[in-house]
Amino acid sequence: MDQKKKILIVEDEKELMKLITFHLVTSGYDVLSADDGLEALEISEAKPDLIILDILLSGLDGWEVCRRIRQNPRTKNIPVIMLTALAEVKDKLKGFELGADDYVTKPFSPRELLVRIKRVLLRAENKTSSCHQIVKVGSLEIDGAEFTVKREGQEVALTEKEKGILRFLLNNRGVVLSHNDILDAVWGQDNIVEYGNIDVHIRHLREKIEKNPESPQLITTVKGKGFKLEC
């Protein structure tokens, strides 16, 4: 099991802070908390895995906190989910412009928040964990830094989505990943894609990397569960 993910909650409403903390802790996360913007910036230096950031705070507001988090080299890659009662589209756009990864509008269900957290964490992991080394899987050679793929010495041209799927499978080698997991990690917010499309991408990927795509040895199907990259 992975080490617990650490999440910083920045929220000045005590009851809401308690509620979110409760749900995160029972879902297996470690929680840090801040109730104003400056404290949030200070604690974000400890590099939590994700920040849940309320917009209406006393002192520095969430917009400014988000801007400063993105400006600081130590914290610029930490995923941020903005939390607010401001539901207008222009506010969402402002959040994304400032580098927020997702946006949750109050009132929200804890379940919705948890789903978004999981999705943002998966996506962040997939972005950052490509290793700077050559990985061999069967007759495949994957250069983790450039993410170029060679099969029996020949470079294989992959689309961005195929690379994303392969990277996610590689980062979770030997683990069965469901359609939903793949959707969250590779498509993230733009997941207006039907489950069937994932099968199509996997089929294309197999045609490019498997000796016999009809009987795949690298990306195998686990019936009713998903796919995995064999160790």
Give min distance, CB of 12 to Ca ion, in A: 5
Stretch that binds Ca ion, among 54-62, 136-144, 196-204, 216-224 (CB under 5 A): 54-62
Give min distance, CB of 104 to Ca ion, in A: 13
Stretch that binds Ca ion, among 53-61, 62-70, 101-109, 223-231 (CB under 5 A): 53-61
In DSSP notation, 159-220 reads -HHHHHHHHHHHHTTT--B-HHHHIIIIIGGG----HHHHHHHHHHHHHHH-SSTTS-SSEE
Closer to Ca ion by Cβ: residue 56 or 193: 56
Closer to Ca ion by Cβ: residue 54 or 102: 54
Residue 94, Cβ neighbours under 10 Å: how many? 17
Residue 224, amino acid: G
Q: What 8-state DSSP symbol labels residue 109?
A: -
If one asks whether residue 64 binds Ca ion (CB under 5 A), the answer comes out as no
**Total residue length of the chain:** 231
Among 19, 38, 56, 135, binds Ca ion (CB under 5 A): 56
Asked whether 169 and 229 are in contact (CB, 8 A), the reply is: yes
Q: Give per-residue burial for 40-64: e unless 16+ CB within 10 Å, then b.
A: bbebbeeebbbbbbbbebeebbbbe
Q: Which residue has the tokens 């930490």?
A: 78
Site pattern 7..46 for Ca ion (x: CB under 5 A): -----x----------------------------------
If one asks whether residue 54 binds Ca ion (CB under 5 A), the answer comes out as yes
Give min distance, CB of 29 to Ca ion, in A: 21
Asked whether 11 and 54 are in contact (CB, 8 A), the reply is: yes
The interface with Ca ion within residues 103-132 (CB under 5 A) comprises none
Closer to Ca ion by Cβ: residue 12 or 64: 12
Stretch that binds Ca ion, among 22-30, 52-60, 107-115, 211-219 (CB under 5 A): 52-60
Binding site residues, Ca ion, CB under 5 A: 12, 54, 56
